[in-house]
Structure 1
Amino acid sequence: MKVEEFNNGLLDFLDSSPTPFHATAAMVKALTAAGFQSLSEGEEWSLVPGEGYFVTRNDSSIVAFRCGDVDVAESGWRMAGAHTDSPCLKVNPNPVLHRKGYFQLGVEVYGGALLNPWFDRDLGMAGRVSYRNTAGRVVSALVDSGRAIASIPSLAIHLDREANNNRTVNPQTDLPVLLGCAENTPDFTALLVDMLSEEGVDDVDAVLDYELSFYDCQCAALIGLHGEFIASARLDNLLSCYIGLQALLEAPADEHSVLVCNDHEEVGSMSSSGAQGPMLESVLRRIAGSETTWQRAISRSLMISADNAHGVHPNFSDRHDANHGPLLNQGAVIKINVNQRYATNSETSAMFRDLCARAGQPVQSFVVRSDMACGSTIGPITASALGVPTLDVGVPTFAMHSIRELAGRDDAYGLSRVLSVFYRRD
C-alpha cells in the first residue's frame, strides 16, 4: 500500500468514526471484509490455525488477532495497542435546557479536552441509543446526525473586552450546546427516535437511555502547501487504531499477531472495556488454552503501545526539552519516562529502533521536560497487567486534545510499515 492510498483510507476512517462505537464498527467492517471472523465471549471458541478473529466489548473496544500455525507457547504474541476514545463533550442524562427562547443540551466534558476550540464549530451528534423494541427486548443501535445540528457560539468581544487577555471556560455555564429555537424543536426523546429511524430502526417502543457525544463536522483533510499535514478531529488516537488495523490486515496468517483498541483511555482506562479491565488478558488466555501455555507465551511476547506524541510547536518550542523535540514528518517517536508513565525501557526501545531500520523508516525520541508533568498511555497499564515487555511510541502531533489536531502526512504511514515488519517477525 502506498502513502496516498493509506492516507485516503485514514481520512475516510476518521470521518466515519465520530465516537468509539463508530470506530469499533468501522474496524469490524474492515476485518470482516478481510475474512476475520467474529467471536462471542459468551460462546465456545474453536480456533483454526491461519485464521483471523475479533472480539468486541461494549461496542467500543476490540481485540483482533491472527491464529498462527506455530505453538504460541514457543512464539508468543506480537501485540499492538491503541485506544478508541478522544476528549469530547457528552450529552447529560437530563440535558434539555429552554432558555431565552432557545433549545440547548447540557453536556459533560469527557477527558482532558482543550475547550476553547469547541466554540463556533459546526457540531454533529452521534453515539449509541438503547431502547425497548416492539418485541419487548432491550437492544441498542448506533446513531449519527451526519450533519451539523448544533453550535456553541462565543460571546462577542464587545461584551467581554478581556476575552483576548484572560479567557477561561466554565464547563457548566459556558458549554451548553445550542440546537435551535425552542418553539421549533421536538421533544428530545422524539429527536432520538427520528435519529434511529434515519439509521433504519423502525421497531422502537421506548427509548431507555443513550451515550451521545458532540463532534466537529469538518471533514478530515490533507492540508499545507504540498499536503504535508493531516488535519482532523480525534487523531488522538484513532490515527493509531488505523495504523494498527492496516498492519494487522497485512500480517502473515502463520504468525500469532494481536491488535487491541481499548475505550476509556482518556479517563483512566478503568472499565470493563478499558485497558485496566480484563478484556485483553481474557482473550489471550482463551487462545492459550492452559495456564502453562499462557505463562510461556507471555514470556515470549511483546507489546507496542501506539499513542500520539507531542510534536515540538514552532511557536512554543520552549515547552519541550531542547534535545527532544519531535518533528512532524520525521518519523515515529519513542516515548520515554523514567517514572514509568511510559512503558519503554532500553531493550524495547532498541528493538523498535531495529524495526525502524529494517522498515527503512526514521525514528525520534521524546521525554517531557523535567519540570513538567507527563501524561500516560495504555502501555504501562498493559505491561503491569500482563507482565509483557512493552514500549510506547506514537506519531508526533500538534494541538493534542483540541477539537481538531494536526499530524504529518508521512508519519502514520511510516509507523504502519514498522508495525508490518513487527508482525512479520522478519
Structure 2
Amino acid sequence: MSAPSRFDRGHTDDLMTFLAASPSPYHAVANAAERLEKAGFRQVAETDAWDGTSGGRYVLRGGAIIAWYVPEGAEPHTPFHIVGAHTDSPNLRVKPRPDSGGHGWRQLAVEIYGGPLLNSWLDRDLGLAGRLTLRDGSTVLVDVDRPLLRVPQLAIHLDRSVGSEGLKLDKQRHAQPVWGLGDARDGDLIAFLEEEAGLTAGSATGWDLMTHPVEPPAYLGRDRELLAGPRMDNLLSVHAGTAALVAAASSGAALTRIPVLAAFDHEENGSQSDTGADGPLLGTVLERSVLSRGGTFEDRARAFAGTVCLSSDTGHAVHPNYAERHDPTHHPRVNGGPILKVNVNNRYATDGSGRAVFAAACERAGVPFQSFVSNNSMPCGTTIGPITAARHGIRTVDIGVAILSMHSARELCGADDPFLLANALTAFLEG
C-alpha cells in the first residue's frame, strides 16, 4: 500500500483537472474565470466604465487574465498584493497556411513556439487546441483532445549517427506532424476544426492553434509522491494563484491590501505583446481600480509604492543525473516547499527585502521554502519578475516550484509542492 502524503492531495487532484482542461492559454484563462465566477467574481469589460464598489472582478484579454478583490473600506491609495504568472508554454503552433504534406502523407505546417525540448514532442500522440476567430470578430475555443497528430522520429537504421553523435533535429524539416494519408489538398485543417466546433463551413477567418500531448497528468513513483504532466510551466502557478485569490477573497480576513492575480501570455518569447507582462495591461487595470474608487494621481503613486508582486514560475530542482549543473550549495528538492529565486544580475527580481516578504508569508502559512541560484558557469533564465518591477516600479519577488524536465512536453514535480505554493500565496494575499 502506498505511503500517505503529509498533505491533503485534493489541491493536486484539482491541479491535474486544471492542466488537462487547459491545453492552450485561452482555455487556461477561461477555466480560471469559471472558478472566479463561482466564487462571486464578475467580469468587467475594458470598454465599459468601472465602478469602485467592493467585491471581486476580472478582465479577460486573449490568453491573459487580471483579477482582483476590493475589500470593504478600501481607500483609493490602498496598495496591491499581486501574484504574477503566465499562461503559455513551449509547443508547436499552426502556421497561417496549415495544410502541408508530401510522399503520400498529410501534414500540418507548424512553427516552434518558445524553447521546447523538441525531442520530447517526438512519437507522442498529440491533440490540437486554441481558438477560431469568426467573421464578426467573436472567438470560439476548440480542443481536439484525442490522438490526432504525431511527429514521427526517424528510425535508427536510417541514421546510425544518432548512437554516436546524439539526436540532431532541424526545426523546419523534422518537426512537422503527420495527421493522415493523402496530400495537402486533402487536409483542410480549418474545415475540420469548424466541423469539430459545430460551426458553419467558412465561418472561421482567423486562428491561433497549438498542439498538446493528450496523455493526462498522473501521479508517479512507488509512493505516488511525484506528479507528471504537461504545461506545469506555468499553469501550476496560474492554478495556485487562482485558488489563493479565491481563498483570500472568501476568508473573511480584514484585508489591508487588494489581492490580485495577473496571469499573462507570451512569457516564453519575451512578454512583448498586449497580453504580455511587458505590455500595459496590468498597470492600466491597477490604475483604473484606483481611479474608480475616487483616487487621484497621488493616490495611484501611493498605492504603487506600497505594492508587492510575487512572480510565481517554475524553477529547477536538483537533477540526480546532472547534479554538477547546479550550484553546489543550492540544491532545491521536490516536495521541499516553494523556491525563492535569486540572481544578482537581475534576471530574477528578488532582493533582500523581497526575501523578507516571502519568508513572512511562508511563516504565516507554516510552509517551508528553499533558495535557488544558478551555477555561475550556466546562463540564468528569467521571468516576468524583472519586467514587472521595471515597467510598473513595484517591488517584485521571484518564487516558484522546483521541477524536472522544464520545457518538456511532460514535466515532473513533487505532488505536495503545488499545495504548499498555494498556501504561501494565500498567506501573502491575505497579509
TM bucket normalised to smaller: over 0.9
Match of 1:403 in 2: 409
Q: Which residue of 1 aligns with 2:388?
A: 382
Cα distance in structure 2, aligned partners of 1:304 and 1:72: 22
1:53-72 pair list within 5 angstroms: 53-58=57-62, 60-72=63-75
Residues 138 and 355 of structure 1: CA distance in aligned 2, closer, same or farther (over 3 Å): closer
Q: Does 1:323 align with 2:329?
A: yes
| 2:166 pairs with 1:192 | no
Question: Which amino acid counterpart does residue 259 of structure 1 have in structure 2?
Answer: L
Counterpart in the other structure of 2:351: 345
Gaps of 5+ in 2: 1-6
> What's the TM-score once normalised by structure 1's chain length?
0.94
Contact 2:99/2:187 (8 A) holds in 1? no
In the other structure, the counterpart of 2:8 is 3
Give the CA deviation at 1:189.
Answer: 2.9
Task: Say which of 294, 299, 302 aligns to 2:300.
Answer: 294
> What is the Cα deviation at residue 48 of structure 1?
1.7
Separation (CA, whole Å) in 1 of partners of 2:73 and 2:222: 49
**1:80 and 2:106 correspond:** no
Residues 308-364 of structure 1 deviation map (CA, whole Å, 9 limit, x = unaligned) = 010000000000010111100001100000000100000110221122122111110
Partner of 1:311: 317
Map of 1:271-290 to 2, 5 A cutoff?
A: 271-289=273-291, 290=296
Aligned to 1:143: 142
Q: Is the 8 A contact 2:41 2:56 kept in 1?
A: yes
Letter in 1 for 2:87: T
Relative to 1, partners in 2 of residues 1:282 and 1:204: Cα closer, same or farther, differing over 3 Å? farther
Give 3-state SS (helix, strand or coil) of 2:100's partner. strand
Aligned residue identity for 1:412: P
Name the aligned partner's letter for residue 181 of structure 2: C
Give yes or no for contact 2:77–2:290 (8 Å, CA) kept in 1. no
* In the alignment, structure 1 residue 52 sits paired with structure 2 residue 91: no
- 1:336 corresponds to: 342
SS, match of residue 165 in structure 1: helix
> Within the alignment, does 1:235 sit opposite 2:232 as a pair?
yes
Task: Give the distance between the partners of 1:296 and 1:164, measured in 2 at CA.
Answer: 62
Measured in 2, the distance between the counterparts of 1:138 and 1:353 equals 46
> Deviations 1:51-105 (Å, cap 9, x if unpaired)?
10000112x1000000122334554111110000000000111122231111001
Q: Match of 1:213, as an amino acid?
A: M
Given that residues 342 and 392 in structure 1 are in contact (C-alpha distance below 8 angstroms), is that contact kept between their aligned partners in structure 2?
Answer: yes
Q: Give the Cα separation in 2 of the matches to 1:97 and 1:350.
A: 54
User: Match for residue 168 of structure 1?
Assistant: 168
Question: Out of 42, 48, 63, which is 1:43 matched to?
Answer: 48
> Post-superposition shift, 1:230?
1.1
Query: Matches of 1:379 and 1:163 in 2, distance apart?
Result: 39
Q: Indicate the SS of the match to 1:258.
A: strand
Which residue of 1 is the match for residue 268 of structure 2? 266
The residue number in structure 2 matching 1:213 is 210
Structure 2: distance between partners of 1:252 and 1:54: 13
- CA shift in 2, pair 1:203/1:44, >3 Å: farther
Provide TM-score, normalisation by structure 2: 0.93
* Aligned equivalents of 1:70, 1:303: Cα separation in 2: 22
What's the secondary structure of 2:172's corresponding residue? helix
CA distance in 1, matches of 2:350, 2:101: 51
- How many corresponding residue pairs? 414
Decide whether the 8 Å contact of 1:252 with 1:423 is kept in 2.
no
Structure 2 residue aligned with 1:18: 23
| TM superposition shift of 1:252 | 3.6
For structure 1, list consecutive stretches of 5 or more residues without a partner in the other structure.
none
Determine if contact 1:395/1:411 at 8 Å carries over to the other structure.
yes
Check the 8 A contact 1:131/1:204 in 2, yes or no: no
- Give the CA deviation at 1:226: 0.9
SS at match of 1:48: coil
> 1:185, CA displacement in angstroms?
4.7
Cα deviation, residue 299, structure 1: 1.1
Query: Quick one: which amino acid aligns to residue 282 of structure 2?
Result: L
Aligned residue identity for 1:148: P
Contact 2:9 2:416 in 1 (8 A): no
Q: Which amino acid aligns with 1:269?
A: S
Aligned to 2:147, the other structure's residue is in SS state: coil
Report the alpha carbon displacement of residue 192 of structure 1 after superposing the two structures with TM. 2.2
CA distance in 2, matches of 1:192, 1:394: 36
Cα distance in 1 between the residues matched to 2:13 and 2:57? 25
Aligned-partner Cα distance in 2 for 1:111–1:335: 21
Q: Partner residue of 2:95? A: 92
Q: Could you tell me how far apart the structure 1 residues matched to 2:139 and 2:364 are?
A: 45
SS at match of 1:323: coil
State the Cα distance separating 1:138 from its structure 2 match: 3.2
2:191, 2:202 within 8 Å by CA — same for their partners in 1? no
Note the C-alpha offset of 1:412. 1.0
In structure 2, C-alpha distance between the alignment counterparts of 1:7 and 1:195, rounded to whole Å: 31
Aligned 8 A contact 2:77 2:300 in 1? no
Contact 1:97 1:105 survives alignment (8 Å): yes
Q: 1:186 to 1:371 in 2, by over 3 A?
A: closer
**1:125 maps onto 2:128 in alignment:** yes
Distance in 1 between the 2:223 and 2:141 partners? 37
Residue equivalent to 2:4:
none
**SS in structure 2 at match of 1:288:** helix
